[in-house]
Amino acid sequence: MDPFARRPLGKSGVELPQFGFGSAPLGELFTKVSERDAEATLDAAWAAGVRYYDTAPWYGRGQAEHRVGRFLYAKPRNELILSTKIGRILRAPKRPEAFDTGFWAGGLHFDHVFDYSYDGVMRAYEDSIQRLGMNRIDLLLIHDLDVWHHGSPEMVEARMWQLATGGWRALQELKEAGLIRAIGAGINELGMMPRFLQLFDMDFFLLALRYTLGEQETLERELPLLVERNVGIVIGGVFNSGLYATGPVEGAKYNYADATPAEMDKARRIAAVCERHHVPLIAAALQFPLLHPQVTCVIPGAFSPAQVTANLADLRRDIPADLWRELRHEGLIRPDAPIPA
């Protein structure tokens, strides 16, 4: 596959390359990353031709936006596409001496509050353009509005009401003013995309973890709905936060937690099929989502130049159609998952 071939982002009018750069690792997700390594990683991506960069205030609690912005602000703005997210406002912690970074191995020491109101969206947008050093953002996403992050269906409904009665108007005003080009939502949880589409005229979704070599339940309801409405799809978390990059090794992560024995066994069986066809597991994981015609782009993360180089090489690798047919025959991918003829 050509990493830089462009695909339309649904009906938005925006086109994205098939390969983008996900910056969560630069926020030090599970692993510390030095400033030198962060800059070298971004430099390797740019030198290789990467022109789509995704970030968020949540990644390292502001750190990823600062790092991406410091690198990109001096690049020709008309050559790059930048996305970030709203929904969290970063604030100084009340007790700095007791600050817990959570699953960020480092990052900045800021607490956050969720805010999907009109003022909250505008505040988040202004904060992001300051951290990024940019005067506009191309794609702006509603971030993490799900039970996983908010704790209960009731709290999700309250936040959704906040968005519907205020935040959405702010997003529309930003788009109408030319300050953003498309409105999306970052989704990790099944069932949320149809809920968004009931309320809002979405341009696209950034779907993390839920359409990968490891799981494809979104083929039952979510993805057919996006096809029907021509809503764009960007795929994040293509490695399910680690397992389909490292393979089933001790300590492998799956969806931000230690992989279970069943998850490890499935990855082991998929890896065995890949090995029989002389294809690295990571190459199959990168290319699989792009076999779906509605998917625009994959945005794997990286925290070293070598990872960027390897990801691009694996996306370019030829994968025989027999590999996908064998995975389907063995029940390791769904029978309705698109594969080459």
Q: Are the C-beta atoms of 55 and 68 separated by less than 8 Å?
A: yes
A 10 A CB-CB count for 66 gives: 20
Which of 52, 53, 85, 127 is flagged as catalytic? 85
Q: Is 336 noted as a catalytic residue in this protein?
A: no
Which has the closest alpha carbon to 18: 282, 304, 287, 340? 287
266 labelled catalytic: no
The residue annotated as part of the active site, out of 11, 52, 53, 59, is 59
Catalytic residue of the set 52, 54, 244, 266: 54
CA separation for the pair 9, 19 (Å, rounded): 13
pTM score: 0.95
- Neighbour tally for 110: CB within 10 Å: 19
Catalytic status, residue 314 = no
> Residue type at 268?
R
Nearest to 24 by CA among 87, 109, 84, 92: 84
pLDDT in tens, the chain (341 residues): 999 999 999 999 999 999 999 999 999 988 999 999 999 999 999 999 999 999 999 999 999 999 999 999 999 999 999 999 999 999 999 999 889 888 898 999 999 999 999 999 999 999 999 999 999 999 999 999 999 899 999 999 999 999 999 999 999 999 999 999 999 999 999 999 999 999 999 999 999 989 999 999 999 999 999 999 999 999 999 999 889 999 999 989 898 889 999 999 999 999 999 999 999 999 999 999 999 999 999 999 999 999 999 999 999 999 999 999 999 999 999 999 999 98
